[in-house]
Amino acid sequence: MDDLIADFLAETHEGLAALDVALVRLEKAPQDGPTLSEIFRVIHTIKGTCGFLGLPRLESVAHAAENVLGRYRDGSLKVTPDGITLILQALDRIKLIVAGLEEKGTEPAGDDAALIAALDAAFAGEAPAPAASAPEEIEAEAPAEPAAEALAAPAAEGGAAAPPQSIRVSVDVLEDLMMLVSELVLTRNQLLQVARARGDQAFSVPLQRLSHITSDLQDGVMKTRMQPIGNAWAKLPRLVRDLARELGKKIELEMRGADTELDRQVLELIKDPLTHMVRNSADHGLESTEERRRAGKPETGRVTLNAYHEGGHILIEIADDGKGLNTARIREKAVAQGLATETEVAAMSDREIHRFIFRAGFSTAAAVTAVSGRGVGMDVVKTNVERIGGTIDVASAAGRGTTFIIKIPLTLAIVSALVVEVAQERFAIPQIGVLELVRVGGATGAQVERIKDAPVLRLRDRLLPLVSLGRVLGLEEEAPAADIGFVVVTQVGPATFGIIVDRVHDTEEIVVKPVPPILRHIGVFSGNTILGDGSVIMILDPNGIARATGVAAEGASARAAEGVAAGMRSAGRTALLLFRAGDATPKAVPLGLVARLDDLPVDRIEFSGGAAVVQYRGALMPLVPMGGAGLSAEAEVRGRQTVLVFSEGERSLGLMVDAILDVVEERLEIKGGTDRAGFLGSAVVAGKVTDVIDTAWWLRQAGGDWFRANETVAAKRLLVVEDSAFFRELVVPSLAAAGYEVVAVGQPAEALALREQGAEFDAIVSDIEMPGMDGFALARALREGGSWAALPLIALSGRSDPPALARAREAGFTDFVAKYDRDALAASLAACLAMPVAAG
C-alpha cells in the first residue's frame, strides 16, 4: 500500500474513533460549539485529503456531510435528532469506504446517491429523513483502530492546543517487544536459579542489577500495552442512542472511570461482553417511558458504567435504574429447566436465585427480539470473562435496578504466580487468585475434617470446602490423608474454597503462554509457562477447578454445609482479631464483625467537613480514628494507614488503628466493666490483658443509623408536593440522605395525575400554602377515595398556630410539621410509617 494512503488511513482512524461519542454529545447539547467545531474539523480534514489522494467516492460523502455540519456551525440550521442520525449514517458510510480502502488499497464500488441526496436536502433546509442504506452497509465497522483518546473538551477559543507528544507504533511491533521482554524474564529467572544452586557470590551483584533492569524494562513495556478502558466504551454512546430509538425509550448512558487503564489484550477481550451487557440493560433492565412514569420515576432511564482499580484487578460495574430482575420468574424458569428443585429454590436467597441467569440457555424474555431474548447471552459473557481469569456477579433490587460487577486482571502477559507441587508434578496458580496459604497436618498445622466424606478445613470462624488437586487432575486415585501438606485458599465469585497440594515452592513471575490445542478441552488450565530451570508447567485456573468439582456451587447444599459448620464450632469460643491502637494494651474485636482489613496509602485519605473519608466503590466511606485524632503514629511514618472495615448492607465504616497483631479463637470472658466510652471491658486473650471494644459505640461515631433494618427505609417511597423549587432543593436531598426514595412535584394537580397513572408511595409530604389548589384541598381530594386514601399525609407549613393545626387535621392530614424542622419531619415520618392510617 502506498505510504501516503497508509498515513491517511492512520490519521482517519484517529479522527473517526471518537466521532460517534461526539455526535451523541452534540445531540444532547446542540449549542455545544466546541464539539461541533471539532466534528466539522475531522470531516473537513478527511474531505480535503481525499481530493489530494484521488478518492472521489469518499470525498463526495464527506463533502455532503461537511456542508450540513457547516450550516450547523454557523447557526443557519438547527441541530435535530434526525439530522444527527443522517450525519451518523454518513459516518458509517465513510467507515465502510475506509475499510474497503484499507483492505484492497482502492476505494470499493458502491452507490451513495441516496445518502448524498438526503444530505443535500438537509443542507437545503428540508426536514432530513434517514437515507436508504443496505443493512450490511450500516452495520459494517472499520477494522480495529489504534488507541485514540475520546474527544475531550476542545481548547478554549483563541488558545492553541499543545502538539501531542506521541508517535504511532504498530501493534505488531509492541507485541514483538513484549515477546522479547518475556524471554528476557525467563532468562533472568534461569540465571537466578543457577546462581542460587551454585552458591556463587561473584555473580550476585550483577544478577541483582540485571533483575532490577529487567523489572524496570518489563514495567515500561507493560505501560505501552496499557490503554484506557474508555477505548472499549467508545462505541457505546452511539449504541445506546440507536437502541433508545429502536426500543422507543429514553436512555441516558453515564460513564465513569474511562481513564482507568488495563492491558490491551484484556481490553479487546471484554469489548463484546460489555456491549452485550449494555444492550441487555437497555432492553431488559429499563422500563418503557410509560412504565417509568407510572412508577413515579424519571422518564429517562439511566445505564451507568463505572471502572476502578482494586488491588491487582479492574472492577467494572454495569448498572441500570430499571425494574430489577424478576426473582419469581427466574425461580419458575430454574425449576422448569431442571436447574434446581422446588425445595432447593425455596431455601435460596434472592441473590442466589439471580445467579441462574448465567446458566446456558437461560432467559426469562417473553419473546425473542432483535436485541435479546434468545438465552445465549449472559452465559457467554460469564464464559468470556472467566476465560481471562475474571469473575462476574449480579445484585438486583425490585423497582430499583440491577448491577453487574465484573472483576478482571490488569494484564494477561506476565503475572506473579505461586508454584505448587502435587504427585511430584509442578503447577502455577496466579497469585491474584490466592487469598492465603494454610499449612495442614503435623503437630502445629490446622486439621482437615470431613463432612459426609467431603474434606473441609476449620479456618477461623468458618469451615472451608476443600478439593484435592491430585484427584481433580487424575494424578491420585484416593483423596490425600492430609497428614501434612498445604491448602491454597482461593475465591471464585462469592465462593471461597481451598485447593490441597503437597508442597509450595516459591512465587515467580511467569510468562503466560496459551493452552496447547490438545489440552483445551480440559477446563482447569488457563495456559502454560516455562520456569527458570527450563521446565514447562501448566497454569491452573481456579474458575475451571470450581466448575469441574462443583465446590463453588451455590444454593441449598452450600447453606447446608454452613449449617453443619455452625454446629461444629466449639461452644463459647469466639474468633477474635487482635490489634493495637493508641496505647500499648492490645485491643480485640470479634472477627465475624470485620468485613475486611485494608492498608490504605495516606494520600488516598481525604477530609470532608473535618472528618476523614476514603473513596471506595464509587462512594465515600467514613474513617474513625481510634487511637486519637487524625492518622496513627505508624501511618505518619509508613505512609499507610491500617483500617478495620465494618459493613452492613450499603453502609461501611473504617476504624483507623495502629497495627494488626493476630487472630485467635478463645473463650471470651469480659471481666470488670469499664466506664470508658467505646469499650465493653477487659478480658484475658492469648495470655494478655486485652481491651474488648464496643463496636456499636464506634459505629455511631460515623453518624447514621446502623441499627435500623435496611428493608424499612429501602422500601419506603415518598411523594413531596411543594410549589417552591428552593424548598424542594432543601427537603429532597435531606430525605434521600435518610434513605428514602423521593419523588417531588410542584403542584397538587401533578400529584393527582401520578395517582391516576398508578404510581405507588408509602407516604405523602405536602406544603399547605400553594397557589391554586392548596394542601388542604389536596388532602380532602385524596381522602375521598382511591388508591392513596389510606396513605399517611404530613403537612408542612411556615405557620404552626393551633388554628392551622386544627384545619390540617380536619382536612385529613395525619401530622403537622413546621416547614424547616428537619428533625421533626424525620420523627413524624418514622411514626407515621410505623402505624398505617385508615382513610376517613
Q: Are 489 and 438 in contact (CB under 8 A)?
A: yes
User: How far is the CA of 120 from the CAs of 37, 60, 97, 501, 595, in angstroms?
Assistant: 20, 11, 20, 72, 63
- pLDDT on residue 505: 86
- pLDDT on residue 820: 65
Question: Global pTM?
Answer: 0.50
- Strands lying side by side in the sheet with 611-616: 596-601, 640-648, 651-657, 619-625, 611-616, 605-608
Q: Position of cell 443509623?
A: 705
Confidence of residue 320 (pLDDT cuts 50, 70, 90): very high
Range among 402-406, 481-485, 796-800 rated most confident:
402-406
Q: What are phi and psi of 166, to 5 degrees?
A: -155, 160
Write down the CATH number for the domain with range 418-445+474-564.
Answer: 2.30.30.40
Superfamily of domain 230-409: Histidine kinase-like ATPase, C-terminal domain (3.30.565.10)
Q: Are 27 and 78 in contact (CB under 8 A)?
A: no
Write down the CATH number for the domain with range 710-834.
Answer: 3.40.50.2300
Residue 496 burial (CB count, 10 A): 16
Indicate if the pLDDT at residue 650 is higher than 70. Answer: no
Indicate if the pLDDT at residue 457 is higher than 60. Answer: yes
- pLDDT on residue 301: 92
Range among 423-432, 440-449, 792-801 rated most confident:
423-432
Q: What are residue 485's DSSP bridge partners?
A: 440
What pLDDT digit, counting tens, does each position of 267-317 carry?
888 888 888 888 888 888 899 988 998 888 899 999 999 988 765 578 899
- Strands lying side by side in the sheet with 741-745: 741-745, 717-721, 763-767, 793-797, 815-818
Confidence of residue 137 (pLDDT cuts 50, 70, 90): very low
Instruction: Enumerate the H helices of 625-719 as residue ranges.
Output: 633-638, 695-700, 710-714
Indicate if the pLDDT at residue 127 is higher than 80. Answer: no
Q: What are phi and psi of 834, to 5 degrees?
A: -80, -20
Characterize the bridge pairing of strands 793-797 and 815-818.
Answer: parallel
- pLDDT on residue 435: 84
Residue 268 burial (CB count, 10 A): 14
Superfamily of domain 3-139: HPT domain (1.20.120.160)
- Residue type for position 131: A
Indicate if the pLDDT at residue 262 is higher than 60. Answer: yes
Indicate if the pLDDT at residue 694 is higher than 80. Answer: yes
| Cell numbers representing residue 744 in the block | 417531588
677-700 exposure pattern, b = at least 16 Cβ within 10 A, e = fewer: ebbbebbebeeeebbbbbbeebbb
Task: Average the pLDDT over 524-537 and give the result.
Answer: 78
* Long-range Cβ contacts of 360-364 (<8 Å, 24+ apart): 361/337, 362/333, 362/334, 362/337, 363/333, 364/326, 364/329, 364/330, 364/333
Residue of 773, 764, 769, 740 whose CA lies nearest to 813: 764
Domains of the chain by residue range: 3-139, 171-228, 230-409, 418-445+474-564, 573-700, 710-834
- pLDDT on residue 402: 92
Phi-psi region of 698 (alpha: psi -120 to 50; beta: other; left: phi over 0): alpha
What pLDDT digit, counting tens, does each position of 554-613 carry?
433 343 334 333 333 333 466 788 888 888 889 888 877 787 777 778 888 888 777 888
Task: Average the pLDDT over 835-839 and give the result.
Answer: 48
User: How far is the CA of 63 from the CAs of 51, 418, 464, in angstroms?
Assistant: 10, 59, 67
DSSP assignment of 579-632, as one string?
EE-SSSS-EEEEGGG--EEEEEEGGGEEEETTEEEEEETTEEEEEEESSSSSS-
Q: Please tell me the distance from the alpha carbon of residue 475 to that of residue 429, in angstroms, as a whole number.
A: 17
Cα 33–chain centre separation: 33
Indicate if the pLDDT at residue 477 is higher than 50. Answer: yes
Q: Position of cell 446458566?
A: 359
User: How far is the CA of 507 from the CAs of 419, 445, 608, in angstroms?
Assistant: 6, 21, 41
Confidence of residue 453 (pLDDT cuts 50, 70, 90): low
CATH 2.40.50.180 for the 573-700 domain, yes or no: yes
Q: Please tell me the distance from the alpha carbon of residue 546 to that of residue 528, in angstroms, as a whole number.
A: 19
Correct CATH for 171-228 of 3.30.70, 1.10.287, 2.60.40, 1.10.3470? 1.10.287
Q: Please tell me the distance from the alpha carbon of residue 120 to that of residue 109, in angstroms, as a whole number.
A: 21
What pLDDT digit, counting tens, does each position of 42-98 carry?
888 888 778 777 888 998 998 999 889 888 888 888 888 888 899 899 999 999 998
The percent of residues above 90 in pLDDT, for the chain, comes to: 6
User: How far is the CA of 157 from the CAs of 37, 153, 161, 261, 791, in angstroms?
Assistant: 11, 11, 10, 30, 56
pLDDT higher for 202 or 717?
717
Q: Please tell me the distance from the alpha carbon of residue 39 to that of residue 389, in angstroms, as a whole number.
A: 39
Lowest mean pLDDT among 45-49, 163-167, 577-581, 636-640: 163-167
Q: Please tell me the distance from the alpha carbon of residue 534 to that of residue 485, in angstroms, as a whole number.
A: 26
Indicate if the pLDDT at residue 257 is higher than 60. Answer: yes
CA angle in degrees (0–180, nearest 5) for 41-44-48:
135
Q: What is the mean pLDDT of the chain?
A: 77
